[in-house]
Structure 1
């Protein structure tokens, strides 16, 4: 299992945010991904319009996953209509 940071952006509407987050958590659980930490970044302006949205609600998740599952998660997240954007970043472990 490797550690990743997953930055997600949702619409500002509370019901869409909660629905998108619930779907995301269910997808992560389905693929055996462990959520270590959730860190809200608040509402921010988007650099460019995404799905007709100019602002979004940002959430950073620290997760542990099998590297082979990341491509499957990427494909699954495309079906989450309440998720505007997302990005996986591999967290490099420090060498002693």
Structure 2
């Protein structure tokens, strides 16, 4: 198991945000990830418009995940309409 930081940008709308968070946590659990910490980073401007949206709600997750599950998890996030963008970063120990 490796440690990763996952940053996810959700839409500002409350119902889409809640649905997106639930899907992220369900997908992480389904792929065997252990969520160690969740940090709400608040609403921020996007660097460039994505699907005509200029703001998003950022959330940072610190997780432990088997590297073999990373590709499947990224694919699940790409297919989720309630996620604007996501980024996995491996934490060096």
Q: Mark the runs of 5 or more structure 2 residues left unpaired by the alignment.
A: none
> Counterparts of 1:60-75 in structure 2 under 5 Å?
60-75=60-75
Q: Mark the runs of 5 or more structure 1 residues left unpaired by the alignment.
A: none
Distance 1:76 1:13 in 2: 21
TM-score (ref. length: structure 1): 0.95
Partner of 2:4: 4
Spell out structure 1 runs of 4+ moving beyond 4 A: none
Larger radius of gyration: 1
> Counterparts of 1:16-35 in structure 2 under 5 Å?
16-35=16-35
Q: CA RMSD in A?
A: 0.5
Distance 2:3 2:67 in 1: 9
Distance 2:51 2:16 in 1: 13
User: SS at the partner of 1:78?
Assistant: helix
Aligned length: 93
Tell me the CA shift for residue 79 of structure 1: 1.4
Partner of 2:45: 45
Distance 1:75 1:59 in 2: 19
